Structure 1
């Protein structure tokens, strides 16, 4: 909502003081966290890591305080500035509150902590030229200092009694051993070095092999620290408690929610998903239960793909169709983001994920499927909605649109702002939107969509239940890891090893899993409120355009920008 005292933004909008502060903050973050730079395509920092030691954290805290003070003094020049100042200030304040709570000293979990970030930094690095491999060799050598700094931070937490849960330590210990064992990732990376222009110089190949060994030894050191020092002192309890959970929840949503009300809503939403599934199962196979309908579909050869080549081709064709059709009807899709590459990931961890384009679109948006070893069959009815979730109208449209909108949005707004609740909430919203638009008219495809939606609703209940130690739904004691595992087994149709990993993820990454479904809830509430305000003038296309043109923002900022102050 525009303020009369501010000028409206234009397509050739000049850079403002607020923009300059945000741009400098991006440069600061890239300098302090080079892995973040790699993710957004800032290749000048690809040869190193940030300082993960307590001194490095203090440096970032000081930088955060400084930019927050500068931003507080800045006067917005237009509505774009108002959004930037509101959202960036909120993020900076939350970072300082999290640091005060010592969260970085227990930052260890099975999926999103420095242990994984260091290894994953290599996944998006260019590999086409000899110069690219020279950069990789330097970053391999830098793994040792990064791991050493991380150990110092965890050791500080150990001295102060701020420690992760023992379950997370045990799982990361296994991951660290994998990164230091035979045929580890680093050795494999060095062995496959092959630039497009021909053979590597012998000296560079030797550097790669030696530095890969150094990186492997660093993870061996981390494993020894976890086993001998941290595990014996780690917390027995998985729950982080209400105060810490509230910080985590705000981080992933960019919104403050009533945790108790959200828990009760999650229970109701889960029940609704179950009833929808049961009704569709009846359509698929009269008289069948959900599990019987799933078993029936799993035997349908017409809905199967064989081999990763077929999977990749199906993903690409499905994505291309969605881009072409939706771009002609329901969304304004710029030419730059009509390209989405669907790829089989080089890892085998089982996830499906999206990586955004670089700021100049030299690296396009990409949808990745990490296929576990030995898996050769794929069911299209399960995964059709996944392509829409990761691609168009999901993550690719959302993130690509923000990158495209560089005439109005500074780099922070285009590439770094936003939350899981904004991004993943939009992607779940997009799944339901595709149902509304007729792309899931096949009951089997709708059942596949609901399978994922039911899991996301279950995660709201589980995550809040465990970390706030709510009473079990069965009434016999409080939520704990064992009950969480059994609860997930009852509500998802997945391999048990995957379910175990998922539960461990929720236990160690509080607040993240609920952000999908809670984010979807907020997106749907915003659309309904926007429709009510606009009345007969409401246009879904216009709502989507206005919302996506903002780029990534916290959900509280999204609400206040689209609807005005509460």
Structure 2
């Protein structure tokens, strides 16, 4: 396993550095077509080699099977090469590699700047590889447009945002100067993408979708079964929400009740961030008071505006974990600010989907005992590979599971916050329905946007951003409710206290759910 991780880190230096591994923070790696093909061959070799290994303990078997699940997923996706289809593959890694080190600050500032200078020098090469690798027959116009939105933030991000994170004025000036060639490379990519003509599809297809569910996520069902699970969950939640809606506005029309609640929202983006800060502290205190989990020593959750480069592509709250291979236990709950060019009405729509009644659920999901608690706690796990690989079907499933957990303990103590809690769960059921239908060619983008804006409480603008995300990231959107349901099912068979169950299953990592069940019930 150590040998495998050495290869993996060398092949994925940005991932390694983001995880906190030493020695990988001065390079962006090789993004040429030859490197991608070589990686695919090495993945097959490692799959064969690790499949032949016997494990002497359960922990060793879990580690091996975790890596095998990741390899099987990667090998399956080689038939659907995102590096030929989507410019965001290149852009996201550049942005993360530049932003995360200055946010985490694991090293002295001169060392951070030195590493950033080395990476900046490689940016033009990475973006040249992007232009060379994009295939007009495979790349989809939707994905290219999405990448173009990100690329347009590149110049300002590199020449202003990143230097502004440097305190020393001389180092700041040096970094800003060195960023100019990389910024010009972004300008060139913008020009390229604006005129790039392509005719590929973003639809994954049912066969590969099912393969990923079974092989990578280790679920016992495929896309069609998952779609039906989503529809059943939506119908059950619909009935429950009708009951609660009566207590909010006297009507069983939960959609109208949610519209009513969303009109009560923070006045500004800054006020939204401040209220999320207060809700995060309240959730943390509640979890401690009810002794639901064990907290990692020194954990801390910051609540900050979302990074500028993410604003064109992410319209919801999100989280950045502490680097698990480091001693840091500080994570960041990012509040979904809008791009600078949004109109006042677009900003208002964003605020409406972060209304006062919705904030408790979101803070629980992103912070306590959701993502921040989980990802700061698993950093204590002694099994290195558990800190390297995790699946959203556990991590997102966990964050939605704990929303229900706190509801069971009385956290959502008004009809308004209870309805919002149920609405978020229904939103995740709608995601299952829409994501599977989109990628199995049963629903158009327009139908998906309509479904999300009528079968959940999303505004039309937010629904559009959500569907855009599903098209670009197949299989991720269903992970929330699917994982939550599976964790609930495993809990029913666990013999021990609630806290013991949480510490064991979540502390074991972000495992595929089949492996998480083995750990929990061993």
Judge which range, 116-125 or 460-469, deviates more.
116-125
Distance change >3 Å, CA 360–CA 118, structure 1 → 2? closer
Pair member with larger Rg: 1
Report if aligned partners of 1:393, 1:430 keep a CA contact under 8 Å in 2.
yes
Q: How many Å apart are 1:106 and its aligned residue?
A: 3.6
Q: How many Å apart are 1:191 and its aligned residue?
A: 4.8
Match of 1:431 in 2: 403
| Matches of 2:159 and 2:486, distance apart in 1 | 45
Distance change >3 Å, CA 221–CA 256, structure 1 → 2? farther
Deviations 1:135-182 (A, max 9, x none): 222212211111222333324xx4xx5x132222233234323435xx
Match of 2:189 in 1: 222
Match of 2:287 in 1: 326
Match of 1:18 in 2: none
Q: How many Å apart are 1:458 and its aligned residue?
A: 0.8
- The partner residue of 1:209 within 167, 171, 176 is 176
| Matches of 2:418 and 2:399, distance apart in 1 | 16
Match of 1:475 in 2: none
- The partner residue of 1:259 within 223, 246, 254 is 223
With the length of structure 1 as denominator, give the TM-score of the two structures: 0.81
Q: How many Å apart are 1:187 and its aligned residue?
A: 1.9
Distance change >3 Å, CA 299–CA 91, structure 1 → 2? closer
Q: How many Å apart are 1:392 and its aligned residue?
A: 1.6
Report if aligned partners of 1:280, 1:447 keep a CA contact under 8 Å in 2.
yes
- Aligned pairs for 1:372-383 (under 5 A) are 372=338, 373=340, 375=347, 379-383=355-359
Report if aligned partners of 1:248, 1:510 keep a CA contact under 8 Å in 2.
no
- The partner residue of 2:326 within 360, 367, 380 is 360
Deviations 1:208-243 (A, max 9, x none): 3343222222223333443444x2x322x4422122
Report if aligned partners of 2:213, 2:222 keep a CA contact under 8 Å in 1.
no
Q: How many Å apart are 1:77 and its aligned residue?
A: 2.9
Match of 1:172 in 2: 147
Deviations 1:266-301 (A, max 9, x none): 11211222222222111112136324323433455x
| Matches of 2:205 and 2:307, distance apart in 1 | 37
| Matches of 1:397 and 1:505, distance apart in 2 | 26
Whether 2:8 is the aligned partner of 1:33: answer no
In structure 2, the gaps of 5 or more residues are: none
Q: How many Å apart are 1:331 and its aligned residue?
A: 2.9
Whether 2:501 is the aligned partner of 1:543: answer yes
Whether 2:519 is the aligned partner of 1:555: answer no
With the length of structure 2 as denominator, give the TM-score of the two structures: 0.87
Match of 1:476 in 2: none
Q: How many Å apart are 1:124 and its aligned residue?
A: 0.7
Distance change >3 Å, CA 363–CA 399, structure 1 → 2? closer
| Matches of 2:109 and 2:299, distance apart in 1 | 27
Report if aligned partners of 2:209, 2:475 keep a CA contact under 8 Å in 1.
yes
Judge which range, 87-96 or 38-47, deviates more.
38-47
- The partner residue of 1:498 within 462, 465, 473 is 462
Distance change >3 Å, CA 178–CA 103, structure 1 → 2? same
Report if aligned partners of 2:17, 2:24 keep a CA contact under 8 Å in 1.
yes
Whether 2:349 is the aligned partner of 1:384: answer no
Whether 2:112 is the aligned partner of 1:137: answer no
Whether 2:317 is the aligned partner of 1:344: answer no
- Aligned pairs for 1:305-320 (under 5 A) are 305-307=266-268, 310-320=271-281
Report if aligned partners of 2:73, 2:212 keep a CA contact under 8 Å in 1.
no
| Matches of 1:220 and 1:122, distance apart in 2 | 18
3-state SS of paired residue (2:319): strand
Match of 1:103 in 2: 81
| Matches of 1:125 and 1:45, distance apart in 2 | 12
Q: How many Å apart are 1:251 and its aligned residue?
A: 7.2
